[in-house]
Structure formats: C-alpha cells, structure tokens
C-alpha cells in the first residue's frame, strides 16, 4: 500500500476550467509538498504546506491535517498548466511520493 | 543564482561501467537531495545531506550506489558497477532548510545498456 495516494491519475480539462487534484496520505507528516513536472522533465516545487492554505497566482493548495488530505486547485486553467503534479510528504527523515496526476488542458 | 546545476544532462554507458553524476546546489542552501525517477517506481528519494553530512541514505538501493558531498557547493552520486536497471532520471535538489521548498536541477537521464 502506498503511503501517498493521488487522484485522479489522469485528468483532461478544457481551458478555463477549475481543476482539483487530491492527495491522501496515511502517515503523520511534518510537511507536504506539491511538485510540478513539465513534459520536458524539469521539476518545480509549487508549495510546501504544514497547515492551512497557500495561494500563488492561479494555484491554491490546502491541507487538512486531521483528515490527512491535501488538494491542489488550479483556477482558470490554461494549456501551459499541462504537466504531472506530484504530491510528496515528509515524516521525520522519510519522504513519500505519490505517483502523480497527469493533467492535460485542451485549448 | 543559476539554480541547481546537474551534469551531465544525458549519460549513456555500458553495463559494468562506473557512472558519476554531479550536482551544484544553490549557494546558501544547507540541504541537498538526490532523487531517482523511473516509470515503474515514480520519484524516490535516495539520500539527502545537511551541511554536507549524509542524514538519511535509506533510499539508496544497493551498495553499488554511493553519494558524497565534499563541500557545500558540490555533490556526487556514483554507481559502480552500473546495471541496466539503474537507467532512470536522477534529480538533485537543494533547499535552504528542511522546512522550505526545494529547488530541483534539470536532471541527468542515465541509460545503461
């Protein structure tokens, strides 16, 4: 069983749609990260959360520690948002990764 | 700062050869991470350093893998001898501390034939 589960695995949306990607984890954590990996392979760290909510541009990340759940929202989605989004959690010295959500935004 | 710099970007080598991957973290970052990404297993943390000291290497798959950080601006990940199943993209990342976001290098795509 994976310590980190993401859903959906694949997502196709029309440009402009509101998108939600979910991450559930089964261990107590110190922090949760959302990563973005573009088709070229580069990885960018979007957010690091330990509680509450963070916003950066059209991206919003929330975390509910009690429910062991985080969501990444993209408002007014754009084709350039097409990427794989990876949820990762840290527990002490251990890091656990989700398998990623592949997002395609169609013009 | 130029960001995290990895070299080479691509490496093709024959089975049994030694492979050395290099990473230059962002100046002032005290943490350095080595990750491996494959289609089968996704992203995995191999090892990470704090102030040049290895903190957790439990993700290192076998004794064939070793990592060093001789100073704050340089780290290597070595595979000796390499095997085809080591083929993957290897990422290096650095962060200012454990509670801040990490910045990733562009990765090294390793192919062992």
Phi/psi at B86 (5° precision)? -80, -10
Enumerate the β-bridge partners of residue A62. A53, A71
Q: What confidence tens digit (pLDDT) does each residue in B46-83 have?
A: 999 999 999 989 889 889 999 999 999 999 999 999 99
pLDDT of residue B62: 86
CA distance A46 to chain B (A): 8
> How many Å apart are CA A30 and CA A45, to the nearest integer?
17
How many Cβ atoms sit within 10 Å of the Cβ of residue A18? 11
Q: Is the pLDDT of residue B98 over 80?
A: no
Chain A residue closest to B50 (CA)?
A93
Enumerate the β-bridge partners of residue A47. A34
Q: What confidence tens digit (pLDDT) does each residue in A8-56 have?
A: 999 999 999 999 999 999 988 889 999 999 888 889 999 999 999 999 9
Enumerate the β-bridge partners of residue A61. A54, A72
Of all residues in chain A, the percent with pLDDT exceeding 90 is 80
Chain A residue closest to B6 (CA)?
A42
Q: Is the pLDDT of residue B45 over 70?
A: yes
Q: Is residue A5 less than 8 Å (CB to CB) from chain B?
A: no
Q: Residues of A with CB below 8 A from B99's CB?
A: 30-31, 48, 50
CB nearest to B104's CB, from A31, A45, A100: A45
Q: Is the pLDDT of residue A3 over 70?
A: yes
> How many Å apart are CA B47 and CA B54, to the nearest integer?
7
């Amino acid at each position: 069983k994976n310590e980190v589960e993401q859903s959906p695995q694949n997502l196709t949306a029309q440009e402009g749609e509101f998108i939600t990607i979910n991450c559930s984890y089964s261990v107590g954590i110190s922090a949760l990260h959302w990563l973005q990996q573009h088709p070229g392979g580069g990885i960018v760290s979007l957010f690091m959360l330990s509680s509450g909510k963070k916003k950066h541009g059209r991206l919003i990340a929330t975390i509910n520690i009690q429910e062991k759940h985080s969501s990444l929202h993209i408002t007014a989605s754009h084709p350039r948002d097409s990427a794989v989004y990876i949820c990762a959690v840290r527990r002490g010295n251990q890091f656990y990764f989700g398998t990623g959500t592949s997002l395609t935004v169609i013009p | 700062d130029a960001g995290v710099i990895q070299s080479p970007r691509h490496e093709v080598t024959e089975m049994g050869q030694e492979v050395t991957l290099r990473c230059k973290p962002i100046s002032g970052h005290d943490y350095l991470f080595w990750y491996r990404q494959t289609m089968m297993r996704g992203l995995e943390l191999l090892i990470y350093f704090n102030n040049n000291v290895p903190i957790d290497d439990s993700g290192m798959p076998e004794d064939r893998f070793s990592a060093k950080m001789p100073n704050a601006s340089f780290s290597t990940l070595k595979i000796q001898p390499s095997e085809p199943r080591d083929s993957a993209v290897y990422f290096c990342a650095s962060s200012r501390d454990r509670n801040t976001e990490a910045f990733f290098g562009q990765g090294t795509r390793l192919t062992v034939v």
